[in-house]
Amino acid sequence: MPWQEVSTVSLRKEFVTLASAEGANRSELCRRFGISRKTGYKWLERAGAACGVLADASRRPAHSPWRTEPRLEQLILALRDEHPAWGARKLRRRLQDLGQECLPAPSTMQAILERHGRIDPQGSREHRSWQRFEHAQPNALWQMDFKGHFALQTGRCHPLTVLDDHSRFALCLEACANEQGQTVQQRLSGVFQRYGLPARIGVDNGSPWGDTFGSPYTPLVAWLIRLGVSVSHSRPYHPQTLGKDERFHRTLKAEVLDRTYSDLPELQRRFDDWRSVYNCERPHEALGMQVPASRYRPSPRPMPQSLPPIEYSPGDFVRRVADQGWLSFRGRPLHVSKAFAGLPVALRPRPDQDGLFEVFFCHQKIAQFDLGNL
């Protein structure tokens, strides 16, 4: 499924940010964004190197703090009105990124916001940030989940979100009509075509990446594994395993889902615009007030045109999984998962224990059996 159309400004903003990064493969990015190299370099020339600067605009800084203080105050308030959930540190960094100099300290900006009724002092005091583990490189782990569904004026929305663990870059924010595996696969195909394949995707244990009988394998997960993407499931009742995506959901709720939308197309347009702001404009405290796009690089592993063939080593015992997930090995019926029905799996003996076999689908271990206890 082709990448869903987004606004030209959002598309340019993201392309310029990624293409301006050191070592970026601009020709490959043009291909993934579906634009010609001529168009890509035209966007870069117009934008310059700064993320978010897509039109001609004066970047002349304020030249006198005393004379421009009222103007600066109005700039701060205007940006706060545009992004009501942003605090003083985010606002200050964004204004710096836009070329504004002679800005007051964050504490002074905080006082300006409080004085003009733009921020609740009590809520600000209760806010606390915390540190999380992050992977060292982009695309080492993506976190994927559905945010809780909610009503629209027409129908319901099930927001699908995918976040890069290292950079907090939002790779996907889709207004879906359901949470079916085929829906997710279609959306992920577009994400993979643009950003390439990650090494691993982390998910929870719910549908469509876990089935109702407690198996961590579904047709969607089998498709990901065939693409060479490892899939890991969080521990049951431990949502903090996907903490960055959960935090992203809270930001999404505060900054976007604060009103009712008419239908999915209207909400998707809002999602597209906000995702661009989140990735390319909104300073992130966990990133030292950098924007996520400054730390993200597309994966060098492209989405293949077709699923690669399933191949195993000569020493593997290969069996084809029958309906309902059963296979036969050395006269014993073994159950893996019906997600692999019709597909070959490999059994490999563990050298440290007689009769113990590990079962692999492509690169991923999916089961283990001790034949001595069966």
Instruction: List the beta bridge partners of residue 201.
Output: 142, 231
CA distance linking residue 180 with residue 323, whole number of Å:
21
Lowest pLDDT segment from 102-111, 156-165, 194-203: 102-111
- Is the pLDDT at 96 greater than 60, yes or no? yes
Residue 213 has a pLDDT of 65
Tokens representing 299?
């994966």
Q: What's the pLDDT tens digit per position in 33-43? A: 989 989 988 88
Confidence class for position 372, pLDDT limits 50, 70, 90: confident
Confidence class for position 134, pLDDT limits 50, 70, 90: low
Tokens representing 324?
């309902």
pTM of structure: 0.76
Chain centroid to CA 124 = 28
Residue 61 has a pLDDT of 46
Q: What's the pLDDT tens digit per position in 119-131? A: 665 544 444 444 4
Which residue type does 174 have?
Answer: E
Residue 226 has a pLDDT of 96
Confidence class for position 98, pLDDT limits 50, 70, 90: confident
Lowest pLDDT segment from 135-139, 154-158, 364-368: 135-139
> Which string of DSSP letters, residue by residue, matches 227-250?
TT-EEEEPPTT-GGGGHHHHHHHH
Angle at 115 between CA 113 and CA 121, to 5 degrees: 70
Most confident of 36-40, 81-85, 86-90, 192-196: 192-196
Lowest pLDDT segment from 197-206, 230-239, 257-266: 230-239
Q: What mean pLDDT is reported for the chain?
A: 84
Which CATH number is 142-294 given? 3.30.420.10
Confidence class for position 263, pLDDT limits 50, 70, 90: very high
- Is the pLDDT at 237 greater than 90, yes or no? no
CA distance linking residue 369 with residue 329, whole number of Å:
11
Residue 5 has a pLDDT of 53
Nearest partner of 70 among 123, 100, 21, 112, judged by Cα: 112
Interval 111-115 mean pLDDT: 76
Query: What is the residue extent of each domain of the chain?
Result: 65-126, 142-294, 317-373
Q: What are phi and psi of 182, to 5 degrees?
A: -65, -35
Interval 241-270 mean pLDDT: 91
